[in-house]
């Protein structure tokens, strides 16, 4: 049973990082990886991107093995190549050269043509006090909404 709408998100990314610039990239996948993703059996929570020899790679993305894959099955945590334009790759490379900057996946989705795409962002890690401030603002907003409902 394949899913028409994928809802694989990295909810922690917006809490853990300041997002600078967002890109949409294709991923090089095998047949069993595609079938597993369409069944919703993937996770991008621990994944991150890296630049290596002129190419972008997504490391630590988990795609569960396809149950009907036999010996053609894939490795669950293999590195996967990201497909972007040369200009975008060069912008990301410049961004990643600075210490403390990283490439974080935000969302895995199906394009209009049925291709599996990933939304990635250039991000800077938040400090503990930034996270506390975000939580405080979130609680204040929730409290304000409660008061407005009454």
Q: From CA 56, how far away is CA 74, in angstroms rounded? A: 20
Q: From CA 80, how far away is CA 147, in angstroms rounded? A: 47
Return contacts of 97-101, CB within 8 angstroms, 24+ apart. Answer: 100/124, 100/125
Q: How many domains is the chain built from? A: 1
pLDDT class of 18 with cuts at 50, 70, 90: confident
Residue 146 in this model has a pLDDT that exceeds 70: yes
Does residue 94 sit within a domain? yes
Query: What does the block give as tokens for 9?
Result: 């998100």
Does residue 90 sit within a domain? yes
Q: Could you tell me which of 38, 60, 45 has the C-alpha nearest to residue 109?
A: 38
Write the CATH number for 33.
2.40.280.10
Residue 41 in this model has a pLDDT that exceeds 60: yes
Determine what percent of the chain is predicted with pLDDT higher than 70: 96
Does residue 3 sit within a domain? no
Q: Could you tell me which of 27, 33, 29, 110 has the C-alpha nearest to residue 65?
A: 33
Does residue 41 sit within a domain? yes
Query: What does the block give as tokens for 19?
Result: 């997002």
Does residue 2 sit within a domain? no
CB-side neighbour CA atoms (13 Å) of 6: 27
Does residue 95 sit within a domain? yes
What is the reported pLDDT for 36?
Answer: 81
Provide the mean pLDDT of the chain. 84
Does residue 1 sit within a domain? no
Which domain covers residue 85, as residue numbers? 8-149
């Amino acid at each position: 049973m394949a899913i028409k709408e994928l809802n694989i998100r990295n909810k922690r990314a917006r809490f853990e990082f300041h997002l600078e610039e967002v890109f949409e990239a294709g991923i090089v996948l095998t047949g069993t990886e595609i079938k597993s993703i369409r069944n919703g059996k993937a996770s991008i929570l621990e994944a991150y991107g890296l630049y290596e020899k002129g190419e972008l790679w997504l490391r630590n993305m988990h795609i569960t093995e396809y149950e009907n894959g036999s010996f053609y099955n894939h490795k669950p945590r293999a590195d996967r190549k990201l497909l972007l334009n040369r200009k975008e790759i060069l912008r990301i490379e410049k961004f990643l050269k600075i210490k403390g900057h990283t490439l974080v996946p935000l969302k895995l989705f199906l394009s209009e043509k049925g291709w599996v795409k990933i939304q990635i962002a250039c991000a800077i890690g938040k400090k503990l006090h930034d996270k506390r401030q975000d939580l405080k603002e979130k609680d204040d907003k929730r409290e304000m909404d409660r008061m407005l409902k009454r």
